[in-house]
Amino acid sequence: MNLVDRVRDAPTDDEGVDAARTADRLDALRRFLRVVDPYLPDHDLVAAHTLVERAGNRLALSREHTVVALAGSTGSGKSSLFNALARLKLSPVGVRRPTTGVAHACVWGPLEPASKLLDWIGVLPRQRFLRESALDGDDEATLHGLVLLDLPDFDSVERGHRLEADRLLALVDLVIWVVDPQKYGDRILHEAYLRQFRRHAGVTIVVLNQADRLSSSDTDLVLADLGRLLEADGLGGAPVLATSAKQPGMLADLRAALEQTVAGRQAALRRLAGDLETVGEQLAATMGPPAAEDEVDRATVRQLAGSLAASAGVPAVAEAAGNAYRQRAVASTGWPLVRGLSRLRPDPLRRLHLGTAPVQGGAGPEPGVDAPPDGPAPVARTSLPEASAAQRAAVTLSVRAVATRAAAPLPPVWAPPLNTAARSRAGDLPDALDRAVAATDLGLRRNPLWWRAAGLLQWLLTLTALAGLGWLITGYALRALGLPQLHYPAVGAVPLPTLLLLGGLIFGVLLALLLKPVISAGARRARRRAEQRLRAAVTEVAREYVVAPVREVLNAYAQAREALIAVRSD
Ligand SMILES: Nc1nc2c(ncn2[C@@H]2O[C@H](COP(=O)(O)OP(=O)(O)OP(=O)(O)O)[C@@H](O)[C@H]2O)c(=O)[nH]1
Ligand SMILES: [Mg+2]
């Protein structure tokens, strides 16, 4: 049976502690811890982890027993009360303070079923006693199931006593705080202990011991004063009784309270519910408002993408794309003789090892590198210069800005994990950016149709000019050789071959001049398009490598927040 089932299985308290609800809250606490464990510092979670573990162990061991501790400062009369309740001299009562150094236990009912519980609580076997006597008859039957512990003093000069008392206070189901008329207002008692137990009013009894030393009117005065102090501690709901270890008659109320607790068998569950509240309250400091819908806002992502783009050489690539457009356009549409010249110039994109990779699905194999038969193809690398120190610094700042923005509305404890998350993949960024740039389709893979049409027209014009030239040369040659002359047809006064030659030349130049601004506009467009696509690719990298890890932490925060609300929903 797991822990939560174990809690759910516990009988429900008539006075409000619902076993099923407590089980749900405990389950929520486990969920909370699972989610925040990788992110929050251990010391913030120790109490919660301890509680989850303690609750499981306690409920697995015995639900038949109620473990009650007598706690208080030295000399308040814990051991005396322990002996008086057991009606035996079990725990030494001393004059020399402090007396009790290790916990003593008295079990009402058979010892055996309680021994595992006492092993877990950590009471030495020789300090365990049994309150089972045939002589008692049924006198003690009403307390069957009670495991009473006499604790060392919590304000001890002996450090070991304090540690032992603190350890046991975390494990028991119900605490009887024993105070005496001199020290009931002690600051350590109230600030370091009672206040810490303010969520446990249901499993707390405060006794003013040694009341036999006071007159009944003084007892009333002290009880009233003690009541006020407890109210201020947040324990106004806890019963306050006057007792005396010396006068058995003054123990009746305490016995009755214990009998009621033992019979109800609810103290363990109530303690758990109180602990859940205490821990929930402590953990509340780790939670703030709900994480925003678009946790990392667009402006921050844009700024990050901007500095990543600069570091990845996006402006240089976009410019190369524009230049490549211009050069290729001139090579396709220019005057055929000029075309050859411009083909001789290296392509600006190819110079950066860009625009050669098959674009769909990322990068293809580098020239001369065979792709492995299976597995991803090696990624084409650009020859862009490495990011400058200033660009790298700008990237670091923008990455930090993402973490800072995300952390702004959250409690400070979330800032370090968000920062770590934002930087978690920073080492992979340069490669990822280079790959993204190499794989981006810059929009220059196919030459526009009009380039071909204009190219063809240029050829036609050139051929026309050449035809005219040839015709004229033939005419001159015939004349030079004294052969019969050619008679050129004429258009108006201009002979046709001259017209063809000049027309071809002039229109060719005109066409080139006309296309120049068109090509310039196209180059600007190509540059802008390349820049947009590259920025989109870089933004994708920013999202994957910086924003996604940050979102993961924010998701954990949101889940933890919900879980904690469930832990605290009483
Ligand atoms: N008159 C009177 N004296 C008491 C009462 N309870 C305890 N005493 C005396 O107070 C002194 C301290 O009692 P203990 O029972 O040893 O006190 P304790 O709280 O166990 O002290 P440590 O073990 O040192 O923490 C002893 O001398 C007891 O006789 C009481 O109800 N009335
Ligand atoms: Mg003692």
pLDDT band at 343 (very low <50, low <70, confident <90, very high): confident
Average pLDDT over residues 6-33: 77
How many other C-beta atoms lie within 10 A of the C-beta of residue 529? 18
User: What is the C-alpha end-to-end distance of the chain, expressed in Å?
Assistant: 24
- Give every CB contact of residue 549 below 8 A, 6+ residues apart in sequence: 421, 422, 424, 425
Please list, in sequence order, all residues whose beta carbon lies within 8 angstroms of the beta carbon of residue 126, skipping any fewer than 6 positions away: none
Atom of ligand 1 nearest to the CA of 153: 25
- Percent of the chain predicted with pLDDT > 90: 65
User: Looking at ligand 1, which residue's alpha carbon is closest to its atom 2?
Assistant: 210
| Whether residue 242 has its Cβ less than 6 Å from ligand 1 | no
- Please give the distance, rounded to the nearest whole angstrom, from the Cα atom of residue 350 to the centre of ligand 2: 89
Give the list of residues 6+ apart from residue 502 with CB closer than 8 angstroms, or none.
465, 468
CA distance 32 to 28: 6
Cα separation values, 353 from 77, 138, 349, Å:
88, 96, 6
For residue 141, name the pLDDT band (cuts at 50, 70, 90): confident
Whose CA is closest to 544, among 420, 428, 388, 412? 428
Reported as a pLDDT band with limits 50, 70 and 90, residue 207 is very high
> Residue 348: exposed, middle, or buried by beta-carbon count in 10 A (0-12, 13-18, 19+)?
buried
Q: How far is the CA of 87 from the centre of ligand 1 (A)?
A: 15
Q: Which residue has the higher pLDDT, 354 or 24?
A: 24
Statement: residue 368 has pLDDT above 50: no
Phi, psi dihedrals of residue 11, rounded to the nearest 5°: -65, 145
DSSP string, 60-127: HH-SS-EEEEEEESTTSSHHHHHHHHHTS--S---SSSS---S-EEEESS-SHHHHHHHHHHT--GGG
Residue 15: count other Cβ atoms within 10 Å of its Cβ: 9
Q: What was the pLDDT predicted at 291?
A: 81
Query: Is 519's C-beta closer than 6 angstroms to any atom of ligand 1?
Result: no
Q: Residue 547: its pLDDT value, please?
A: 93
Range name among 11-15, 94-98, 162-166, 323-327 with the lowest pLDDT average = 11-15
| pLDDT-based confidence at residue 376 (cuts at 50, 70, 90) | very low
| Residue 306 reports pLDDT greater than 80 | yes
Phi and psi at residue 174, to the nearest 5°? -140, 145
Q: String of b and e for 435-453 (b: at least 16 CB within 10 Å)?
A: bbbbbbebbbeeeeeebee
Is any atom of ligand 1 closer than 6 Å to the C-beta of 75? yes
- In one-letter notation, the amino acid at residue 513 is L
pTM (predicted TM-score): 0.78
Report which residue type is found at 290. P
pLDDT attached to residue 359? 40
Check if the beta carbon of residue 245 is closer than 8 Å to that of residue 214.
no
| pLDDT tens digits, 495-553 | 999 999 999 999 999 999 999 999 999 999 999 999 999 999 999 999 999 999 999 99
- The best mutation among 93, 153, 254 to test binding of ligand 1, ranked by most ligand atoms within 8 Å of the C-beta, falls on 93
Rounded Cα gap, residues 268 and 155, in angstroms: 26
